[in-house]
């Protein structure tokens, strides 16, 4: 209450003092003049009806306003009903002093409410002074029915008048300017009713020239449907030049109170709808996050077993198909999931920002679906992925080696089996039993030559066994066939050795019987056999398969081949010398007329055989040259691929690293408004996206290298895996940076932060961000707060700083981000709805009850919001609560993550 008091003067010597300007009555009774009889009649009827509208709640009423208040009992009861408070116990006696005491108790109660009554005493009320009694009732009406009316910071009479003007403004023939003649035609009252309850009056059918009909319509509808008793007579209002202002104000105030509850309920309903809409949107975002997280985790769960499947295929073709499937996974299947993972983090940050701005508790995803859980699962996926690729390449190298060894094994086996064909039968012959001396000696020499040949083939058998052992160690898929063939060769070799020894023993036993042997045949045989074996080895080496992975390796083979070619002249001399022995035999035979059988008894080799094999060797030499040169060309092409990949990788790798470093500073260094920062970051992001063609080209070069079985590159330290991981991190980082600016815009708009304030926050943050990486450590953050006026030096300041750190760094990361800094600086000044405000709104809709019914929710709220509340509110448990009563208190608390208030 203010110290300013105004005076209301009535005739018959009473004055009311009050602090509000609405109490000033320019047209009020003069103290020394009589009240207009027409006004007095209107006031009697209106005030009596107003009093009865309240007294009926106590089960009583008055008939004569100046008589029925004389003993003070009904006056005290009226004040108790309209104030809701208890007055002192009335005196029970009927004497005059008892009545005066009761009236004084009523007047004292009125004064206790801030109204000072001057020149009005209990004696005048007890004596039935009608003017004083009407003045007292008007004072009560002003204090308890009109004083609290406020519209746009006006009060009382002005507030009530402004309310009437606003509600009737759209209606034709209505122009409310006062509380007397503006109401004479009844249209203003009908407009008030139609504005709030259009179902009760058809305003289009009303006529301005029927004031009595209009007034009676308003009185009847108000009494029947709005519980506003009839306080005026239509004829009195129409026939009075200027209707009584107090009577009109009293009646109109009843409409304000009748409809104010509906407006209050509408305001409360709007607040609840706003809160529920925020909650529904947040729940939708939570559901979308859960769905996206579940799908991503399920994809990771399905993909990891595929990558962990290290069952090797048996053929090179099958393993290369696995490698192609893996490349397809890298190019097609994984990139969308990388974007989903990035989008998931962005959605999570945006949701947390919206929850924080709407004063909701932070979102906690389902167990196992936190951003950190997804990051860990993704890290596990990439680890398995890396191991899978390494395994694939290792297996391909192994199969390549296996195929080479298997082919070499088959070639050596075929040559050996070709050589041993028929040898067992020859060694098992007993031709020496019927042979002549010369023939025996020939057989002996022939056998010696065979043993020499047999010894020469020992190395090949050992090579075959060694290759078979290596194939077994490398887990060759057809090892059983290899082992069987190798075992057959070894068994046969052992048998040949046994048969050879037996035959030698037999020949030696008869050798003493024979003396002469043709030295020349023997010499030819001895020289022809090693030379023939050398040619066999040479042909084998010239046809030997090889596998190399570098220029150096193929150059080594070329060098070895050149060394071999350098031995050919000496070999040719040996060939000529060997053939010369045969020619000498022919010459001696011709000289001495010896008839030769044409067969060397000591060897199956002929000069023609040696010549044929020599021709073959000479033919294979240029073929070998051609093969080596083709391999040189292939290795040179591989080297070009290595250099081509390295040239691009050595540019892209540092480019990605540079961009990562720029992005880590970009949110700190960019000046201007957040929208300008956003545009700059979007352009920055577009430039990065435009660079994707370089990554794709490098992927193509990498694929060509793998298809050419190139697995190392000495020209660069960057692998395709490094580039892929760096590129994915770059895309994720720029997306996160953009999201941080978006969240800053959300924070700015929701908190009402100006761009200047935001620039000041940024300047303060940058000043103390010594590392220029967009994060402050706790010491720098403390210094920043102290510079802004926070007392953090004392022991109490230590406690306060610890509390602040729990707000800006809830996960104990040891750093404070710019977003956390802004949230802290604006947290306590934000105007957000609270659980108490929502609870108060529900209480209005529930008509001050501790519970609310389904019918009330459906009547006051839009259908969607009403059903949302009904589905989530718990049953109210309390005395005398009807069936289906709902607990809006716990529901309001739950909206904000609080316990029941």
CB under 8 Å to 631, separation ≥6 — which residues?
A: 546, 548, 554, 557
CA angle 210, 215, 218 (to 5 degrees): 125
pLDDT, tens digit (0-9, with 9 covering 90-100), for 591-622: 744 455 667 777 888 888 889 989 999 898 89
pLDDT (0 to 100) of residue 517: 38
Q: What's the pLDDT tens digit per position in 354-413?
A: 888 888 888 889 888 888 889 999 999 889 888 888 888 887 887 777 788 888 888 889
| Residue whose C-alpha is closest to residue 215's, from 258, 182, 259, 169 | 182
pLDDT at 152 over 80: no
The topology under which CATH files domain 835-894 is Recoverin; domain 1 (1.10.238)
Q: Which of 452-466, 665-679, 756-770 has the lowest mean pLDDT?
A: 665-679
CA distances from 48 to 14, 56, 449, 717 (A): 20, 12, 152, 101
Q: Which two tokens stand for residue 163?
A: 């309310």
Bridge-based pairing of strands 775-776 and 116-118 is unpaired
**pLDDT tens digit string along 477-509?**
788 888 998 999 898 889 888 988 888 887 776
What would the CATH number be for the domain defined by 37-265?
1.10.418.10
Establish whether domains 426-605 and 835-894 are of one fold. Answer: no
Check: CB of residue 695 under 8 Å from CB of residue 723: yes
Residue with tokens 């993704």, as numbered in its chain: 378
Q: Which carries the bigger pLDDT value, residue 813 or residue 151?
A: 813
Q: Helix, strand, or coil here: 7?
A: strand
Residue 399: partners with Cβ closer than 8 Å, 6 or more residues away: 312, 313, 315, 316, 319
Write down the residue that tokens 């005398």 correspond to. Answer: 880
Which CATH architecture fits 426-605?
Up-down Bundle (1.20)
Instruction: Place 14 in a pLDDT band, splitting at 50, 70 and 90.
Output: very low
List beta partners, residue 852: 886
Banded model confidence at residue 655, pLDDT cuts 50, 70, 90: very high
884: left (phi over 0), alpha (psi -120 to 50) or beta: left
Please report the pLDDT score of residue 193 as a whole number. 92
Q: How high does pLDDT run on average in the chain?
A: 81
Task: List the one residue out of 860, 839, 869 whose CA is nearest residue 265.
Answer: 860
E-strand stretches of 800-851: 816-817
Q: How big is the chain, counted in residues?
A: 901
Fill in the DSSP letter of residue 852. B
pLDDT in tens, 196-217: 888 999 999 999 999 999 999 9
| pLDDT-derived band at 7, boundaries 50, 70, 90 | very low
Q: How many other β-carbons are positioned within 10 Å of the β-carbon of residue 723?
A: 21
Sheet holding 6-10, edge to edge: 6-10, 14-18, 116-118
Please tell me the distance from the alpha carbon of residue 795 to that of residue 434, in angstroms, as a whole number.
124
pLDDT in tens, 92-150: 888 888 888 888 888 888 888 877 776 678 888 888 888 888 888 888 887 777 776 76
Which DSSP string do the residues of 543-562 spell out, in sequence order? T-----SSHHHHHHHHHHHH
Buried b (16+ CB within 10 A) or exposed e, 482-498: beebbeebeebbeebee
Domain range list for the chain: 37-265, 282-404, 426-605, 835-894
Helix 371-420 to helix 519-542 angle, to the nearest 10 degrees?
Answer: 160
**CATH (residue range 282-404):** 1.20.58.60
- Tell me if residue 496 falls in helix, strand or coil: helix
Cα–Cα distance, 650 to 643 (Å, whole number): 10
| 365 or 271, which is more confident | 365
Sequential DSSP letters for 298-355:
HHHHHHHHHHH-----SSHHHHHHHHHHHHHIIIIIHHHHHHHHHHHHHHHHHHHHHH
- 3-class secondary-structure state, position 667: helix
For the cut 70, the answer to whether the pLDDT of residue 515 exceeds it is: no
Model confidence at 174: pLDDT above 70: yes
Place of tokens 């018959």: 12
pLDDT band at 171 (very low <50, low <70, confident <90, very high): very high
Rounded to whole angstroms, the Cα distance separating 145 from 760 reads 51
For residues 812 and 798, give the distance between their C-alpha atoms in angstroms, rounded to a whole number: 17
DSSP secondary structure string for all residues of 732-757: HHHHHHHHHHHHHHHHHHHHT--HHH
- Flag whether pLDDT at 511 surpasses 80: no
Q: Which two tokens stand for residue 503?
A: 């035959």
> Which residues in 150-180 are b (16+ Cβ under 10 Å) and which e?
ebeebbbbbbbbbbbbebbeebeebebeebb
Whether 569 has a pLDDT exceeding 90, the answer reads yes
The mean pLDDT of 837-852, rounded to a whole number, is 85
Token pair for residue 822?
């802004």
Nearest Cα residue to 554 out of 501, 479, 638, 632: 632
Tell me the two tokens of residue 328: 């397809």
Phi, psi at 846, each rounded to 5°: -90, 10
Cβ–Cβ < 8 Å for 9, 30: yes
Q: Where are the beta strands (DSSP E) in 735-863?
A: 775-776, 816-817
What is the rounded average pLDDT of the residues 797-824?
82
| pLDDT for residue 183 is more than 90 | yes
Q: Cα dihedral sign for 848, 852, 858, 862?
A: positive
């Amino acid at each position: 209450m203010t110290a300013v008091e105004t005076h209301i003067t009535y005739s018959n010597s009473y004055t009311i003092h009050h602090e509000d300007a609405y109490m000033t009555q320019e047209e009020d009774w003069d103290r020394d003049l009589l009240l207009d009889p027409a006004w007095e009649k209107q006031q009697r009827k209106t005030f009596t009806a107003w009093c009865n509208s309240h007294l009926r709640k106590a089960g009583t009423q008055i008939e004569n306003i100046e008589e029925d208040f004389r003993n003070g009992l009904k006056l005290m009861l009226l004040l108790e009903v309209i104030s809701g408070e208890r007055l002192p116990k009335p005196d029970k006696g009927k004497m005059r002093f008892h009545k005066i005491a009761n009236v004084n108790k009523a007047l004292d109660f009125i004064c206790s409410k801030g109204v000072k009554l001057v020149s009005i005493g209990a004696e005048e009320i007890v004596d039935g002074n009608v003017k004083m009694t009407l003045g007292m009732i008007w004072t009560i009406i002003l204090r308890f029915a009109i004083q609290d009316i406020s519209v746009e910071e006006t009060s009382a009479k002005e507030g009530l008048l402004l309310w009437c003007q606003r509600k009737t403004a759209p209606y034709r023939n209505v122009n409310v300017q006062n509380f007397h003649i503006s109401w004479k035609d009844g249209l203003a009252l009908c407009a008030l009713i139609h504005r709030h309850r259009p179902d009760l009056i058809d305003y289009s059918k009303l006529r301005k020239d029927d004031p009595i009909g209009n007034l009676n319509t308003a009185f009847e509808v108000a009494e029947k449907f709005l519980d506003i008793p009839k306080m005026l007579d239509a004829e009195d209002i129409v026939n009075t030049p200027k209707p009584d202002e107090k009577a009109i104000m009293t009646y109109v105030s009843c409409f304000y109170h009748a409809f104010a509850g509906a407006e209050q309920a509408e305001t409360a309903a709007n607040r609840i709808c706003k809160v529920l809409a925020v909650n529904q949107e947040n729940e939708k975002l939570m559901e979308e996050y859960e769905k996206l997280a579940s799908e991503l985790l399920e994809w990771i769960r399905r993909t990891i077993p595929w990558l962990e499947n290290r069952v090797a295929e048996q053929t090179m073709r099958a393993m290369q198909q696995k490698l192609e499937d893996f490349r397809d996974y890298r190019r097609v299947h994984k990139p969308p999931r990388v974007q989903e993972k990035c989008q998931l983090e962005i959605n999570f940050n945006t949701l947390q920002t919206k929850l924080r701005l709407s004063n909701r508790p932070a979102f906690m995803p389902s167990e196992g679906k936190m951003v950190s859980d997804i990051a860990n699962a993704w890290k596990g996926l990439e680890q398995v992925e890396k191991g899978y690729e390494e395994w694939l390449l290792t297996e391909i190298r192994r199969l390549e080696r296996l195929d080479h060894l298997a082919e070499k094994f088959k070639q050596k086996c075929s040559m050996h089996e070709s050589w041993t064909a028929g040898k067992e039968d020859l060694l098992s012959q007993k031709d020496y039993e019927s042979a002549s001396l010369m023939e025996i000696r020939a057989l002996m020499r022939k056998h010696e030559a065979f043993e020499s040949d047999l010894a020469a083939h020992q190395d090949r058998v050992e090579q075959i066994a060694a290759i078979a052992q290596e194939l077994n160690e490398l887990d060759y898929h057809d090892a059983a066939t290899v082992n069987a063939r190798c075992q057959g060769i070894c068994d046969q070799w052992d048998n040949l050795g046994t048969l050879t020894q037996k035959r030698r023993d037999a020949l030696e036993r008869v050798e003493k019987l024979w003396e002469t042997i043709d030295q020349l045949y023997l010499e030819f045989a001895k020289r022809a056999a090693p030379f023939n074996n050398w040619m066999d080895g040479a042909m084998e080496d010239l046809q030997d398969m090889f596998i190399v992975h570098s220029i150096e390796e193929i150059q080594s083979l070329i060098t070895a081949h050149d060394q071999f070619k350098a031995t050919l002249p000496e070999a040719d001399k040996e060939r000529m010398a060997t053939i010369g022995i045969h020619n000498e035999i022919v010459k001696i035979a011709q000289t001495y007329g010896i008839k030769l059988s044409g067969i060397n008894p000591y060897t199956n080799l002929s000069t023609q055989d040696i010549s044929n094999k020599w021709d073959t060797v000479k033919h294979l030499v240029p073929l070998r040259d051609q093969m080596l040169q083709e391999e040189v060309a292939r290795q040179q092409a591989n080297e070009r691929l290595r250099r081509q990949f390295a040239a691009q990788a050595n540019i892209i790798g540092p480019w990605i690293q540079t961009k990562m470093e720029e992005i880590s500073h970009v949110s700190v260094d960019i000046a201007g408004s957040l929208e300008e920062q956003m545009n700059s970051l979007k352009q920055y992001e577009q430039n990065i996206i435009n660079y994707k063609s370089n990554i794709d080209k490098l992927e193509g070069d990498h694929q060509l290298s793998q298809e050419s079985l190139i697995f190392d590159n000495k020209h660069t330290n960057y692998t395709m895996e490094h580039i892929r991981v760096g590129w994915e991190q770059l895309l994720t980082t720029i997306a996160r940076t953009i999201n941080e600016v978006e969240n800053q815009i959300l924070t700015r708009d929701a908190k009402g932060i100006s761009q200047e304030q935001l620039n000041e926050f940024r300047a303060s943050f940058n000043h103390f961000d010594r590392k220029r990486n967009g994060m402050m450590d706790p010491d720098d953050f403390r210094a920043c707060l102290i510079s802004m006026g926070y007392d953090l030096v004392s022991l109490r300041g230590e406690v306060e700083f610890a509390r602040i750190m729990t707000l800006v760094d809830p996960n104990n990361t040891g750093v404070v981000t710019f977003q956390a800094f802004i949230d802290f600086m604006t947290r306590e000044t934000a105007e957000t709805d609270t659980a108490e405000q929502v609870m108060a709104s529900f209480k209005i809709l529930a008509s001050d009850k501790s519970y609310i019914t389904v019918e009330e929710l459906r009547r006051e709220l839009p259908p969607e919001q009403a059903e949302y509340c009904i589905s989530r509110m718990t049953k109210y448990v309390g005395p005398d609560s009807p069936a289906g009563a709902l607990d809006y208190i716990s529901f309001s608390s739950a909206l904000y993550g609080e316990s029941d208030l």
